Structure 1
């Protein structure tokens, strides 16, 4: 009995309470971002405007750099090389002049679709594509001679996918924050990823191997079950619709529910997103777990102690963000 009590105490102190604290911090940061960008057209108080804008950007830059560094350090191992690669990646987030200007001095005047076009979608794609090339070159020049080019190439592919998910997430996050529906969109993506993970955990605990004897991905995440994944998917769908229509009651004039009910094109796009987003969350979780297994690490860092790194907490959310971006660009959300 005493051992069980200690185990419960460890769960509350090391897992549950830090998770609640992390959620509170994320909500506070999100509120700061929302006020920073949406206050642009609501006040003439320059002191307030610049205080909020600079504070939010400093937090954004710090968190972006750390997540990029977590990824690079996991792949490159060497601290100095990881720092240099992370700084190069961070610069690419702001390198396009129009993007940097809009982030610094004003609210975005374009939709996500227009921003990518006006900001030069070719530039964005080239910059993202160049990072894996730089990664390959650094590894080729610094890796031991016995490492095969084939192994290095496969490692670069893993890095390219992970880095693309992360970079699109970081760039899209700040753009979506400037959208009047931005808070709803961001909360929806977070809820889908969280509901998928939570539903999968409890679904696996309660119904694991009751129908399917095989595991979902035994070589990647041995504890995940097919039943858990199905329940997580269905739970995420349920939470999505509950949230969207609950948000309509909070904000009846500008919401995703109106798009779902009144705009046929956006309805189709939004329904496809909701249907595929839980799958994206599952894929993101499994893919980043696969990367950790290939690299021989448990977590991307220990900054959150038992919770690992920031990237460990946001990997599935970042993948859902990527999916939203793919739907938002052609359908102008």
Structure 2
């Protein structure tokens, strides 16, 4: 048995190691303050340029972050291309022919690697990009917690099963968000991200033709560019927010109150259920929505990040090192 002094030294070392591992497991807004101080400027410049070319791109970049975090956590796995060893998330039903913005992330990663090689993860670039997309389209700004590392593999089946489809009912939405540690208020606030962006006809056809919880005039308007017959015009687009599809505000919730939600899953948030009052609150108070959206985005960004020695820092976001 060791001496008291040697035992004390062992305990001290153990405490230091445990504290170190705890620190490594935590994300922080100043994670790259010394190792890559240029990161915020590089990302903001690139996102600004991308949105200037196409305002819709902001919504696409925000959606990438959502879909990444909902599949095995915020680990940049959605950015991986298929390999001979696995089929990735890009080919999953929620992403195929709709997930976009990968080239923007590639360009940002290239610039970041020039400035501080091997330091910044693709997962963190995606997190900052989503914040800048929201802010540049008129939405709130927040300090993004950083320090994530990148996954080496991904899963087609996990993406097919992990991302709520537009046919989801309210109970299914609440259940999925709850399984990730997100509350019903988080669900509604994050759904407010649909105040920007567009959806494909195939994702809202059933809602505008077959369902009653929709304003008839709105349904007719959407039917003009989305034929009833499946396979015809499937990729035709319509704005998720009829009022201001390229500006981040609370019009999405005003639409829901008027039964003008484009997706079935959108209108489920205002359909006589348990979250109607939250929708009404956000429709009347932009500040309340913005504050809760920021809190929910930070919370979502905390879903199962890889930290410390887990994963890697990819040199190319499309493939593992």
Tell me the TM-score normalized by structure 1. Answer: 0.27
Point out the structure with the larger helix share: 1
Larger relative contact order (Cα-Cα within 8 Å, sequence gap ≥ 6): 2
Tell me the TM-score normalized by structure 2. Answer: 0.28
